[in-house]
Amino acid sequence: MISVIIPVHNTEKYIDRCVQSVLTNTYKDIEIILVENGSTDRSLEICRKYEKDYANIKVIVADQVGVSHARNLGMDVAKGEYFSFIDADDYISPYLYETVWGQLSKSGCEIVIFKLIKGSEENYRWTESDYVVRTITLDTYYHDVYVRGYAEYIAATTKVFSRKLLGELRFNESIAFTEDRLFYTQLMPKTESICVIDAELYYYNVGNINAISKNKHAVEKRMSQVSSVELAIEYMRKCFPQKRLWVESMEACLLQEADFWRKRFKKWGNYPNLCEELRNISHKAASSLMKAKDLPKIEKYWVLLTHYCPIAARIVYSVFRCIRR
């Protein structure tokens, strides 16, 4: 059985579509756990109705607000052999879990990653089509998460993983943004291989203007996008000191994150203390990256170029795009 955990917060407009997309999946051995998370609209009322009408739906009312806390509560009560997360304003392909289950059974992988679509369509027209399945190494995973920023590798919602793999690991509830990146950074070393399905099976809704990810005023919380990378580096250095490529990929990401948010905070308003903190983080990350030996040189020097000479980096990027055309 697959346990599908859905944190719910002020999503009365979307929750029906989300839950129905799970109920209409062609794979039926599913339990749905709706974790109501401090909503002030009709979300809880809608969740309770689903719980009443469907035996495989359970509602939990969280004692505090936070997506990480909600997911942790869901995992604590889940009964399935495998776990999946969906955000309540998103929805999924009717073929998602049948496709994933087939790969879990066939390949023996303990974690499966699939692709997502970004948009604001009310009802995306899914099609069942052929797809390519491949296995990636942990070196590839960490490089693609931290250097290339592949969305499906980062997001909590584009994966199904085994209970056995999870163990006692839970989301860090002090991280407000990119909590999923840190979670999977700590989860992945427990497996030998990762199965990737090159099929778009998850619809990421960019049209929800109330989503916390679109709130530019949550400046303090945005700092957690930087601190989550610092925590990942600390974890890797402690637990896997021999994996230099993993740490160097994270240092490249830390430099990019710190530079990006320092510029964004300056644009948004007067945050001198945060900007100074980020400047210090950037300086430290750049110094570490200069010493990197395992990270591909072209990526190492590109990240350093964007840090030290952003104008030159933009010129190089423009020239490269023209050449590719």
Across 54-68, average pLDDT: 93
Q: How large is the angle between the packed helices 244-268 and 297-308, nearest 10 degrees?
A: 20
For 118-141, the pLDDT digits (tens) are 998 888 888 887 788 999 999 999
pLDDT at 211 > cutoff 60 = no
Across 197-210, average pLDDT: 84
Of residues 50 and 221, more confidence is placed in 50
pLDDT at 217 > cutoff 70 = no
For 144-186, the pLDDT digits (tens) are 999 988 888 889 999 999 998 888 999 999 888 888 999 999 9
Across 74-81, average pLDDT: 96
For 232-261, the pLDDT digits (tens) are 999 999 999 999 999 999 999 999 999 999
pTM higher than 0.95, yes or no? Answer: no
| 171 vs 223: CA distance, rounded Å | 17
| Lowest-confidence region among 54-58, 279-283, 311-315, 319-323 | 319-323
